[in-house]
Every structure is written in structure tokens, then in C-alpha cells.
Amino acid sequence: DHQKSLILSSSSQFPPPQGVKLSYGTSGFRADASILQSTVFRVGILAALRSLRTQSVIGLMITASHNQVSDNGIKVGDPSGGMLTQDWEPFADSIANAPTPQELLQLVEEFVAKEGIRFDGSRPAKVLLGRDTRPSGDSLLEAAKQGISSIVGASAVDMGIVTTPQLHWMVRAKNKGLKAAELDYFEQLSSSYRCLLDLIPNGSKVEKAENKLVVDGANGVGSEKLEGLKKSLDGLDIEIRNTGKEGVLNEGVGADFVQKEKILPQEFGPKDVGIRCASLDGDADRLVYFTLPSESSSKIDLVDGDKILTLFAVFIKEQLSILTEGGQMVEDGYHARLGVIQTAYANGASTNYLRQLGLEIALTPTGVKYLHEKAAEYDVGIYFEANGHGTILFSDHFLSWLEAKNNELASRSKAILIHKGWSICKWNGLYQDLPSRQLKVKVIDRTAVVTENAETIAVKPPGIQEAINAEIAKYPCGRCFIRPSGTEDVVRVYAEASTQEAADSLANSVAKIAD
Ligand code: NG1
Ligand code: ZN
């Protein structure tokens, strides 16, 4: 019929690359942009099917985040605003690697039958498309559109160049029947920020210098969007650098560079001593802060995702205990469960600090999709990767409880939401990071490494964990693990120890074992 011949004819325009096996990975498909046309086309088909299956709007984002500018990638956003459900990843892998249009069609037909997807035209598929500033984005976007329109009735809405968080937000807003334009996004952020400022108790005031924020836009989409947001944001003095007019995306700039190298990005220098600075990544879904402690070196004090998480955790824990203390609040017997979620890359000092605060800590494998899923199990789930990906999730139940409490409290309590008025130094001083080192090892087959226990133990190849343990035993406070990257063809090594030299040397010895 028409649907079949449409898939066959359009997919014949997008032959898959020879001799490469692609997988959906930590955050969608990623590779050199030159080999991605067929993958993106096929993910377009998947997105349209997902839209039919969920009877909702689906998101498709074309980006390779912090990776080099010549790479690109594609990831799918589910109706709730989160990532594609993991049950659909095997289908994504199989269609991406189907060698011929006939085999592709057969996989699609089988999957459609299994998922009970119907093409009755009652609610046609709708997909929102976004991309970052990579030059390959334009033609990949075309391929995605072709994929979407090879499902009968499906439509693609091009949101243009957007950040990853914007696209997720737009998909969620659309599905809730809310306004979903870029201006609405900026308006929500700036009005929430205004609310926060209004709730600062009179006594605590922010020093003038602390009001300034210099942002490294990674030469990507984040800088342009932040310019837009600035227009509706009062109370914060933002200066944006690395806007992409001169430098190259993610090269010597951006959150990944700053977090791994722990030195100033391009365009920052001695004049920035003591100022609060921040770096975004190529699709602006990572955020880390830093300060330059001394003019004489470009070494920075990093305030990474672990510390952002810690600040949120400390604050929310305090607010929750204010809410549940004082008799009346405990009466209803409700105790909000607060959870913090980390990965093995979280600095050990952060985990110790959080544990000592009495917080419940869960560990998941690397990747927002795992952290997000775990965080959703709590009333308040705070998650961050050390590299700056993260957010806070509040359950619907908790929000309605809070609303009821709020009405009750409004008249008689001023103790809720006390702001701290801390400086970035005070914040950074919550705990001292343990020295760490991250390395990547190019290997022939990264899938030879198989891990367990949230990636903290390598169970394959046989004997490798014993060899790693023998190295770790040589270092006081040593911790080290290896895992295959889900976005690059490498095995990653992460090590911590009591000194930087020791962390470097532990990482180097384990890298030799992994090689
Ligand atoms: P991989 O390549 O799987 O390590 C990297 C980051 C993830 C996440 C993804 C997606 C590290 C160690 N890993 O994944 O946290 O950010 O990229 O962007 O930083
Ligand atoms: Zn990113």
C-alpha cells in the first residue's frame, strides 16, 4: 500500500554507511556528521511512530553537545519533556543498522504490529525539530524531515536553532496545551527568577561583585539564547563571551573543557580574578561555575555539577525541615522523600558530604536518561552529573501538598524559603574536591568492557577488575573505574586519590591495563 511504498522509496535516498555499526548510546546517536544522513532519516521515522504511539508531540534534537564541531548526533525527546523511553532504544539500534530499504520496512512493520501503532489518521504524528549551531545541522535537519514525512500524515515543525533544554521544554509545553514559543520559555525562566529574588529575606543582600556573572557560551547556541533571556532578566548583570563569532565550537571553551582541564577557557584572563564565571556546553544543557583565584595562573577553582547539586540539596533539605517542623506540618503524616542521584564520576568528597548531611543517595550509570528516571522515584529528586548536566524533579503529589501547605502558611509564617546570601567562595568551600583525573583510551572494541553496579565494577574482560584493584590498593583514598563511553569510540578511565600526582598516576596505570 501507500505507506509501504513511501518508506521504500524515501529510504532508498538514504543508504546507510558501509561498515559502521551505530548505537543509540548515552544520549542518542553520535558520529562524524558525514556518516549520519541515513541514521537521522531513520530516527525521523522512529519519532513519527513514537508520536503515533503516544498520541502526543515528540521532539528530535540534532546535536553532538560538547563533542567536536565536525561531529553531530540525534536524540529523541518523549512527551513528558524527558528522553526517549529506553524500551524503544533497541528498535532505534536495529533500524539504524538495517542494510536495505526492504529490511528497514520489515523492521518497521514488525515493530508497528508489536506496539499496536495504528495509522487511522485520528491524530496524525507531530514532531518538533531542533538543532544546535553545527554547520552540518541544516542538511541533517532535511534528512530528519524526510524521515518524518515518510509516515503518512506526519508533520514536522522546525523550531530552528535551539538549546537541548529549550526543545525538551517546548515538547512538554505543547503536550500540556501551553504556549511553547521561545519567548514563552524566556518568560518562564525570568519570572521564576524574579519570584526567587522576591523571596529573599530583607536582611540578606548580595554584594555588587557577586551580582556579576561572566558566561562562556562555548561558541555555541547558548550564547545567543542567553542574549535573548537577558532582555527579560532583571537583577543579574550577565556578560557573555565565546559567542561563536570568532572561535570554534567547544574548542578550548565550554563546560567540558573547563571541567576536565580545570583552566580558564579562551577569552578569560587575569582581569576576571574573583568574578563568578560559568561555562555552557555546545547545546547548553551543561553548566559549571568557576572562579580565577589568582592573576598569576590560569588555574581555576571549579564549581562543578556535584557542587551545584550540593547547594540545591542543602537548600531544599533546610526548606523541607522548616516545613515539617513546628507541629502543624507533621500532623498530616506526610514526609516528602528527598533523594540525590549521582554517577560514579561524582567526586568522592561530594558523596561523603551529602551522606554526612543524612541525605539519601542513589548511584546510576552515566547519562541523564538513567539519572532522570531514578530522580522521578522521589518527591524531590535532585540529580547532577559532575560535568554539569542536571535538574530537580518535583512529584505532582509533592507539588499539590506544597500548594495546600502554602495557603495555610501564607498568613502566619515567614520562616519558609530563607535565602543564604552566600558568595561563590563560601559555596565552593562546602567541601574540598578530592584530586581526580579522567583519561580516554582508544581501543579496537570498547564493548569488550562490560560493567556492573552503576559502572563501578568491570566484569569483562575477565581479570581486569582484579588488576585495577591491585593498582587502587597502592594509593591512599584511591578510587578508580573504567567504562566504555556511550558517545565516543573510547574506554574512559576515572581516578581519585589524595593528591593530584597520585590521581594522575593511578589513572595512567589503569589506562595501561585498559589498553
Ligand atoms: P560518555 O561518552 O558515555 O561517557 C558523555 C558524558 C556523559 C554525558 C554524555 C552525553 C562523562 C564522563 N560522560 O558520555 O556524562 O554527558 O556524554 O552528552 O562526562
Ligand atoms: Zn550537552
Per-residue pLDDT, 327: 44
Asked if residue 27 lies in contact with residue 128, where contact means CB atoms within 8 angstroms, the answer is no
DSSP string, 402-415: HHHHHHHHTTT---
Best mutation site among 68, 343, 366 for ligand 1, i.e. most ligand atoms within 8 A of its Cβ? 366
> Which of 303, 321, 341 lies at the terminal end of a domain, its last residue?
303
The CATH number assigned to the domain holding 506 equals 3.30.310.50
Best mutation site among 441, 480, 485 for ligand 1, i.e. most ligand atoms within 8 A of its Cβ? 485
Q: Do residue 53 and residue 31 come from a single domain?
A: yes
Q: Do residue 250 and residue 217 come from a single domain?
A: yes
Grid cell for residue 91? 528498535
Q: List all residues whose CB is within 6 A of at least one atom of ligand 1.
A: 26-27, 65, 345, 366-367, 385, 387, 389, 485-488, 492
Per-residue pLDDT, 172: 97
Per-residue pLDDT, 325: 67
Q: Do residue 14 and residue 112 come from a single domain?
A: yes
The CATH number assigned to the domain holding 278 equals 3.40.120
Asked if residue 386 lies in contact with residue 304, where contact means CB atoms within 8 angstroms, the answer is yes
Per-residue pLDDT, 205: 58
Atom in ligand 1 nearest the alpha carbon of residue 483: 4
In the set 65, 149, 505, 509, the catalytic residue is 65
Q: Do residue 160 and residue 20 come from a single domain?
A: yes
Task: Quick: pLDDT tens for 221-275.
Answer: 999 999 999 998 887 899 999 999 999 999 999 999 999 999 999 999 999 999 9
pLDDT at 507 over 60: yes
Atom in ligand 1 nearest the alpha carbon of residue 256: 19
Atom in ligand 1 nearest the alpha carbon of residue 385: 15
The mean per-residue pLDDT over the stretch 306-319 comes to: 92
Q: Do residue 422 and residue 480 come from a single domain?
A: no
Q: By alpha-carbon position, which residue is closest to atom 3 of ligand 1?
A: 486
What is the distance in A from the centroid of ligand 2 to the CA of 55?
28
Task: Quick: pLDDT tens for 149-183.
Answer: 999 999 999 999 999 999 999 999 999 999 999 99
| Number of domains present in the structure of the chain | 4
Angstrom distance (rounded) from CA 247 to CA 72 = 18
What is the distance in A from the centroid of ligand 2 to the CA of 247?
18
Q: Do residue 337 and residue 227 come from a single domain?
A: no
| Binding-site residues for Mg(2+) | 65, 281, 283, 285
Q: Do residue 154 and residue 11 come from a single domain?
A: yes
Judge whether 65 counts as a catalytic residue: yes
Note the ligand closest to the C-alpha atom of 63.
2
Q: Do residue 149 and residue 9 come from a single domain?
A: yes
Torsion sign, CA atoms 425, 431, 437, 443: negative
Q: Domain limits at 310? A: 306-428
> Which of 138, 161, 179 lies at the terminal end of a domain, its last residue?
179
Q: Do residue 79 and residue 140 come from a single domain?
A: yes
ipTM of the complex: 0.95
Q: Do residue 80 and residue 226 come from a single domain?
A: no
What is the distance in A from the centroid of ligand 1 to the CA of 494?
12
Q: Do residue 494 and residue 420 come from a single domain?
A: no
Q: Do residue 504 and residue 412 come from a single domain?
A: no
Q: Note the residue count of the chain.
A: 515
Question: With b meaning 16 or more CB within 10 Å and e meaning fewer, what string describes 409-448?
Answer: beeeeeeebbeeebbbeebbebbebbbbbebbbeeeebee
Per-residue pLDDT, 344: 98
> Which of 377, 411, 428 lies at the terminal end of a domain, its last residue?
428
